[in-house]
């Protein structure tokens, strides 16, 4: 099993949801970066469980214990190792999963792939909890990118069939970016919050879950980053995005909607503005031929409904070899999307620093 990713700046994520700790080694981060720990902790808090009422009530402090690579609050250039203790485990809730895999989760595939040895408690290494180290490492990369004029933000584009406003594709203002970066339930049109929350609450009350879409952007990215054919910006971003559990799709710019346009509408016309080449539309989401155009990078990631729901579901009993029913006890998010937003932003930071 390998959970390492990256080329110039690498991460290696370790731990299990109900083990003693989880963490990450971040290799290749720049030296001399003065870490803004308040900002880093704000990001950790946006992902952490038990803070927002739409999320699971499993409470975790998620305090990163930095054990190498940072001296007096500044990165030294050596590998940064961070350990996050698991303080709130209830492995008893997962007893029946040892033989009955949860539909929609990785219990069955993990069991097959690792010959029954994978740690199934709380989803083990497949748990959404393993995104805390991604947020830690991504937040450091994000601070390095910010020093180079690159800013990242995301918002909940949809929950089930309730939609927020999309990003304005050509120009995304700093005020909006700053506002979204502070929220655990980030929305462009805040009037949508009540409707989205009531869809989530209705799902929870019926022992069910809902999915959503996170729209994410990066502004200030220089033109000319990325390589054709297999190491383009889309490839690198998608590769790390699918490391985020529950991400089932990604589209850049106008994405699938481009198939309904004519070329005369989908092409982004070029124009000089203050000596700089820009495009007057941004249907390609800031990437052409795998190479950044200098326009905002915009993509949407599809987050599926939380697999662990409390309604009875059909499964198999791997021990008896018979069909079975499973009722999942435990604390699960009725919707993953809000907590996933800062994870998607952090994953984008990891992709951009590699580009």
Ligand X SMILES: Cc1cc2nc3c(=O)[nH]c(=O)nc-3n(C[C@H](O)[C@H](O)[C@H](O)COP(=O)(O)O)c2cc1C
Site string for ligand X, 175-214 (x = CB under 6 A): ----------------------------------------
Measured from the CB of residue 332, what is the shortest distance to ligand X in angstroms? 4
Neighbours of 52 (CB within 10 A): 18
- Give the one residue of 307, 341, 349, 350 binding ligand X; rule: CB under 6 A: 307
Measured from the CB of residue 239, what is the shortest distance to ligand X in angstroms? 14
CA distance to 189, 235, 246, 342, per residue, from 251 (Å): 22, 11, 15, 18
- Give the one residue of 70, 106, 225, 237 binding ligand X; rule: CB under 6 A: 106
- Give the one residue of 343, 349, 350, 352 binding ligand X; rule: CB under 6 A: 343
Neighbours of 322 (CB within 10 A): 8
Query: Pairing relation of β-strands 322-326 and 276-279?
Result: unpaired
CA proximity to 209, closest of 112, 113, 305:
305
HSE-up of 125 (CA within 13 Å, CB side)? 18
Measured from the CB of residue 129, what is the shortest distance to ligand X in angstroms? 7
Site string for ligand X, 66-95 (x = CB under 6 A): ------------------------------
Q: Which residues contact 229 (CB under 8 A, 6 or more apart)?
A: 290
Measured from the CB of residue 169, what is the shortest distance to ligand X in angstroms? 26
Length in residues, the chain = 355
Query: Pairing relation of β-strands 212-219 and 297-303?
Result: antiparallel
Of 82-90, 164-172, 233-241, 305-313, the window that binds ligand X (rule: CB under 6 A) is 305-313
- Give the one residue of 215, 332, 345, 346 binding ligand X; rule: CB under 6 A: 332
Tell me what percent of the chain is helix, strand and coil, each rounded to the nearest 5.
30, 25, 45
128 binds ligand X (CB under 6 A): yes
339 binds ligand X (CB under 6 A): yes
For ligand X, the closer of residues 209 and 354 by Cβ is 209
Q: How far apart are the first and last CA of the chain?
A: 25
Sign of the CA dihedral with 41 first, then 164, 292, and 243 last: positive
Measured from the CB of residue 27, what is the shortest distance to ligand X in angstroms? 23
Query: Pairing relation of β-strands 80-85 and 162-163?
Result: unpaired
Measured from the CB of residue 166, what is the shortest distance to ligand X in angstroms? 22
CA dist 128 and 288 (Å) reads 32
Measured from the CB of residue 106, what is the shortest distance to ligand X in angstroms? 4
Of 89-97, 154-162, 290-298, 300-308, the window that binds ligand X (rule: CB under 6 A) is 300-308
- Give the one residue of 283, 284, 306, 315 binding ligand X; rule: CB under 6 A: 306
What order of strands is seen across the sheet that includes strand 212-219? 162-163, 151-159, 212-219, 297-303, 247-252
51 binds ligand X (CB under 6 A): no
154 binds ligand X (CB under 6 A): no
17 binds ligand X (CB under 6 A): no
68: its two tokens: 């190498």
- Interface with ligand X (CB under 6 A), residue total 21
Contacts of ligand X in 230-269 (CB under 6 A) = 244-246
Tell me if 7 sits within 8 A of 352, measured CB to CB. no
348 binds ligand X (CB under 6 A): no
111 binds ligand X (CB under 6 A): no
* Sites of contact with ligand X (CB under 6 A): 56, 105-106, 123, 126-128, 131, 244-246, 304, 306-308, 332-333, 336, 339-340, 343
């Amino acid at each position: 099993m390998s959970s390492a990713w990256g080329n110039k700046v690498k991460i290696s994520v370790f731990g299990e949801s109900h083990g003693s700790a989880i963490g990450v080694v971040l290799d290749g981060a720049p030296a001399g970066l003065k870490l803004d720990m308040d900002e880093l902790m704000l990001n950790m808090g946006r992902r952490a469980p038990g803070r927002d009422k739409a999320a699971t009530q499993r409470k975790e402090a998620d305090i990163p214990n930095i054990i190498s690579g940072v001296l007096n609050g500044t990165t030294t250039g050596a590998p940064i190792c961070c350990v996050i203790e698991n303080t709130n485990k209830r492995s008893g809730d997962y007893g029946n999963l040892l033989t009955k895999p949860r539909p929609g989760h990785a219990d069955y595939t993990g069991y097959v792939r690792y010959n029954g040895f994978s740690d199934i408690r709380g989803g083990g290494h497949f748990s959404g909890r393993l995104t805390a180290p991604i947020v830690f490492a991504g937040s450091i990369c994000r601070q390095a990118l910010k020093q180079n004029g690159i800013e990242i933000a995301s918002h909940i584009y949809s929950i089930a069939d309730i939609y927020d406003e999309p990003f304005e594709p050509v120009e995304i203002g700093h005020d909006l970016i700053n506002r979204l970066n502070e929220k655990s339930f980030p929305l462009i049109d805040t009037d949508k919050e009540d409707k989205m929350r009531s869809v989530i609450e209705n799902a929870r009350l019926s022992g069910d879950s809902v999915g959503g879409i996170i729209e994410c952007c990066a502004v200030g990215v220089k033109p000319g980053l990325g390589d054709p054919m297999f190491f383009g910006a889309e490839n690198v971003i998608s590769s790390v995005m699918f490391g985020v559990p529950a991400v089932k799709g990604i589209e850049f710019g106008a994405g699938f909607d481009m198939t309904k346009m004519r070329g005369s509408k989908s092409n982004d016309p070029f124009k000089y503005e203050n000596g700089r080449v820009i495009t007057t539309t941004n249907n390609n989401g800031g990437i052409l031929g795998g190479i950044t155009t200098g326009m905002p990078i915009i993509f949407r990631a599809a987050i599926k409904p939380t697999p662990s729901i409390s309604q009875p579901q059909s499964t198999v009993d791997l021990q008896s070899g018979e069909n079975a029913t499973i009722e999942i006890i435990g604390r699960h998010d009725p919707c993953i999307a809000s907590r996933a937003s800062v994870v998607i932003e952090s994953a984008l930071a990891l992709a951009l620093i590699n580009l």
